[in-house]
Amino acid sequence: MSELRRAVQADAEAIAGVDVRAWWHAYRPFLDEQRLAERSTEARTESWSLRLPGVEEETWVLEVGGRVAGFASLAPSRDADAEAATGELLALYVDPPAQGAGVGTRLLGQAQLRLGELGYDAATLWTFEANGLARVFYEHHGWVPAPAAVGNEACEVWAPAVRYRRELGP
């Protein structure tokens, strides 16, 4: 049994667990371990408690067997060069044991649908340059590289990142 639903504040700890496990699993090969270790479940739970349920930002979770298997967050684009009609996929994370089973595809589909319903014509996302699996995944789902000019590196705090874009709607 699975359920796709909007996240509520009570989901903060479960989302933080997925967030931290997915970061370790996917990013350990190229991110600094010391900095990864500072991204604790406790700290992330606190941060998610403040973000949920969100007003401009929406987070969706997919529960499988009563557990949060993954989540996706969306909001208006944070990029300096973004037009008003551009939304952003802020995050998409699937718990490592649940990866490769369609959870990410369902969450991405829902995020794209919601961004369209909210009136955005297009959306962008940032992902680490070295995150090959995710890049192939996004390209498979119609996202194309959209290089950003200097001053847009919102997500470059940890490592070099690349921007992708997708038109929304029918």
Ligand X SMILES: CC(C)(COP(=O)(O)OP(=O)(O)OC[C@H]1O[C@@H](n2cnc3c(N)ncnc32)[C@H](O)[C@@H]1OP(=O)(O)O)[C@@H](O)C(=O)NCCC(=O)NCCS
State the residues that interact with ligand X by CB under 6 A. Answer: 22, 26, 92-94, 99-105, 127, 131, 133-134, 137
Min dist. Cβ of residue 133 to ligand X (A): 4
CB of 62 or CB of 119, closer to ligand X: 62
CB of 92 or CB of 168, closer to ligand X: 92
CB of 77 or CB of 131, closer to ligand X: 131
Min dist. Cβ of residue 158 to ligand X (A): 12
The residue type at 47: S
Min dist. Cβ of residue 4 to ligand X (A): 13
Min dist. Cβ of residue 104 to ligand X (A): 2
CB of 84 or CB of 147, closer to ligand X: 147
* Three-state DSSP class for residue 142: coil
